[in-house]
Structure 1
Amino acid sequence: MQKQKLDDSVLVKNYINGSERSLEILVGRHKQKIYSFIYSKVLDRDIAEDIFQDAFIKVIKTLKLGNYNEEGKFLPWVMRISHNLVIDHFRKSNRMPSFKNTEEFDIFSVLSDSSLNAEKEIIKNQIHFDVRRIIEELPEDQKEVLIMRIYRDMSFKEISENTGVSINTALGRMRYALINLRKIIEKNKIVLTN
């Protein structure tokens, strides 16, 4: 029980020094967060499990080779490894949706990541088609609020004035639009990796 309270950095050091139990504790401590992250990208339990296993095989190899120097930032390091393995998975299976940008629609105004690196830029250029298609599946009133809020950068007050509904109604429509988008994405197993 004592080991449960140890910092990740101590557990990593103990594992490098031969304590297999320390790795078990680390995996147990972070499995849910890492697995959930992977699953949220691939939406397939078997693939998520495979990628999770691969991530920890990579972690073990790196630790055994003595190449780990994250200074106590174990979880972000494993998340980066997992993220890279998810990208590799999609590259291998060529299942990333392709898309083009239009002036009217740009999902990346939502992501607001000003420092897109080359890898993210490639992925960015492959998402738009599915985003546009799933937004078209929303009920008209929800689609209208979502487009005004996200793509035209209007405040809920402005949306309320433009649509003739109360701010609370506009907020409610936006909330339902986001809930419905998630359902459509899950139902169609669409992957929106950022």
Structure 2
Amino acid sequence: MDNLQDSQLVHDYINGKEIALEHLVYRHKQRVYSFIYSKVLDRDVAEDIFQDTFIKVIRTLKRGNYNEEGKFLPWVMRIAHNLVIDYFRKNNRMPKFEENGDFSIFSVLSDGNLNAEKQLIKSQVENDVRKLIEELPEDQKMVLEMRMYRDMSFKEISEITGVSINTALGRMRYALINMRKLIEKHNIVLTD
């Protein structure tokens, strides 16, 4: 079963082969869980949302409402993303999501309507973020600063740095991945 396509496993599960779902979950659990955890930064909450994601997957498949043949993982990731948004809405801690669906650690810096306490927290977060940026490799730090602090497009960044747009995008991606790792390593909290 390990070499079957997702679409075949979905088909088998819908037709009563329960083990097919086990293979699907096992195949994608790391990616789905990592995605959820990167948004909520809490292992217990991430596990709950992960379980809720697959409960929703099972219910949809059992009802026969799944119709995205061959696009199983993107469908599951969309369910997980929606459940993450629901979690933040319920807890009045809604982060801002960019068009690409990724949570931006910089969104906590953009709220201009802050009281004195929140202004102090925002200032501390800014300091923490700047310290983390200093720990990044130089090429990642440069792209991140151009994008986040100078609001430059990736086209502009690629022209200035002399690399392709894809390389600039890759450096930004790795910068954000490394920032998340540094946040976890230093136990920094970016929201109140």
Seen in structure 2, the aligned counterparts of structure 1 residues 145 and 22 have a Cα distance that, compared at 3 Å, is closer
Amino acid of the structure 2 residue aligned with 1:136: N
Question: How many pairs align?
Answer: 155
List aligned pairs for 1:45-60, cutoff 5 A: 45-60=43-58
Q: Which one has the largest radius of gyration?
A: 1
Contact in 2 for aligned 1:43/1:189 (Cα 8 Å)? no
The answer to whether residue 43 in structure 2 is matched with residue 9 in structure 1 is no
Partner in structure 2 of residue 27 of structure 1: 25
Q: Could you say what the CA RMSD is over the residues aligned between the two structures, in angstroms?
A: 4.0
Calculate the TM-score normalised by the size of structure 2. 0.64
SS in 1 for 2:77: helix
Amino acid of the structure 2 residue aligned with 1:23: L
In 1, Cα distance between the equivalents of 2:73 and 2:176? 29
Deviations 1:129-158 (A, max 9, x none): 379643433249949957852232375997
Contact in 1 for aligned 2:40/2:84 (Cα 8 Å)? yes
Q: Between the two proteins, what is the percent identity of the paired residues?
A: 57
The runs of 5 or more residues in structure 2 that have no matched partner are: 112-121, 136-140, 162-171
Contact in 2 for aligned 1:149/1:156 (Cα 8 Å)? no
Runs of 4+ in 1 over 4 A off after TM superposition: 130-133, 143-148, 154-159, 177-181
Seen in structure 2, the aligned counterparts of structure 1 residues 63 and 130 have a Cα distance that, compared at 3 Å, is same
Calculate the TM-score normalised by the size of structure 1. 0.63
Deviations 1:54-99 (A, max 9, x none): 001100000000000011110000000000000000001112368x
SS in 1 for 2:67: coil
List aligned pairs for 1:144-155, cutoff 5 A: 149-150=146-147, 151-152=149-150, 153=152
Partner in structure 1 of residue 164 of structure 2: none
Aligned to 1:77, which of 72, 75, 90? Answer: 75
